[in-house]
Amino acid sequence: MWDEVEGNQNLFAKAHASVLLGDFSLARLILRRTESSTAIEIIEKLADEYEAKRFLYLIQQAKGKEGSELKDIYKSAASLGESFADRVVGLAFKRGKMDSMMLFIVELMDKLSPEKYSKQLELLISKAWRGKPPQPAIRIYSIRALMSIYDQESLPIKLRKKFMKALSKRLDKMGDDAGKFLYLIDQKEGLNLLSKCLSSDVPIVRDGAVTTLATIGTSESIKILRSHGSITTETMLAILEGADIAKVIPLGKEVQIGDKRARTYTFEEIEDANRESNLRYYYEESLEEYRPLLERWKKA
């Protein structure tokens, strides 16, 4: 052991500093580089003891807490490792409330393994049935997680019907998300819902629908964008076609100030410019996140 220490003094010093800072993950990583089985065994034991005590402490702290305070505590507990995250999921379901805490749990299950937690995710689709936020988000994000493990052929008929019912329910501020996933199951119904969202009173829903229709990129979805004729749809079409945005959104007016020319902008023109920037960002993000699902769910 001491020969190992002498040859790896710098690494052991770094590992020791990591332990003092409570970062056992880093300490583990450093000690693996020493190839010292004894040191690794010691740190693993210390880490397990520390994490177990830390988890119990956090769960004690969670008693009587609600809202963001409770969610932050559970996030810290889940970050200790997969086995602890699994226990956090169990505690949340035992608690049973369909609130922001459960929305975090849905995101956690999606990150860990949608396949492992498929039964819990299916249960949430039924339990989070009301229209009061965040229940629609819990319902839709549970469906999103499950869609990553199924496709058109493997999705059970019973679950397909459950998805259709949940996504067709009035969702107001999440209609564009519902349309996005409804399209994967039933293209006609999905396009119909996304088309309705283009006239939503909620800007983020309109932008979401425009982005999804652009990402789908079929002749039918582009036709819907063209037929709507709003500044938002025209901007997205210009982005898709690589057209000069300035021709779609004339910005500013040149004025003479003394012996110089300057361009002035109205508040509405500034909003239009921001819209173009946002839509471009949403579209690039959608290509990365939604396009793989589109490919997965293509009909054979």
For 28-67, the pLDDT digits (tens) are 776 676 666 766 676 677 778 888 998 999 999 999 999 8
d(CA 195, CA 180): 11
pLDDT in tens, 262-288: 666 566 666 666 778 889 999 999 999
Distances (CA, A) of 145 to 43, 116, 118, 132, 135: 35, 11, 8, 21, 15
Cβ-based neighbour number of residue 196 at 10 Å: 14
d(CA 95, CA 91): 6
pLDDT in tens, 123-155: 999 999 888 889 999 999 999 999 999 999 999
Nearest to 299 by CA among 170, 159, 169, 154: 154
pLDDT of residue 97: 94
257 or 276: which leads in pLDDT: 276
- Here the contacts of 23-30 (C-beta below 8 Å, separation 24 or greater) are 24/50, 24/51
Q: What is the mean pLDDT of residues 98-108?
A: 95
- pTM across the whole model: 0.78
d(CA 134, CA 18): 39
Nearest to 148 by CA among 107, 191, 110: 110
Nearest to 131 by CA among 179, 177, 171, 178: 171
Least confident of 11-20, 123-132, 183-192: 11-20
d(CA 280, CA 300): 31
pLDDT of residue 298: 84
pLDDT of residue 94: 95
The pLDDT-based confidence of 122 (bands split at 50, 70, 90) is very high
pLDDT of residue 39: 66
pLDDT in tens, 239-253: 999 876 666 665 566
The percent of residues above 70 in pLDDT, for the chain, comes to 80
pLDDT of residue 1: 38
What's the chain's average pLDDT? Answer: 86
Q: What is the mean pLDDT of residues 115-123?
A: 97
d(CA 172, CA 14): 53
Question: Tokens 């010093």 sit at which residue?
Answer: 13
The angle formed by the CA atoms of residues 282, 284 and 290, to the nearest 5 degrees, is: 85
pLDDT of residue 172: 74
The angle formed by the CA atoms of residues 15, 20 and 26, to the nearest 5 degrees, is: 40
pLDDT of residue 231: 84
In the predicted structure, residue 26 carries a pLDDT above the cut 90: no
The pLDDT-based confidence of 121 (bands split at 50, 70, 90) is very high
Q: What is the mean pLDDT of residues 195-216?
A: 95
pLDDT of residue 34: 66
Q: Which helix (H) or strand (E) holds 182?
A: helix 175-185
The SS3 of residue 256 is strand
Q: Do 202 and 233 meet the contact criterion of CB atoms below 8 Å apart? A: no
242 or 214: which leads in pLDDT: 214
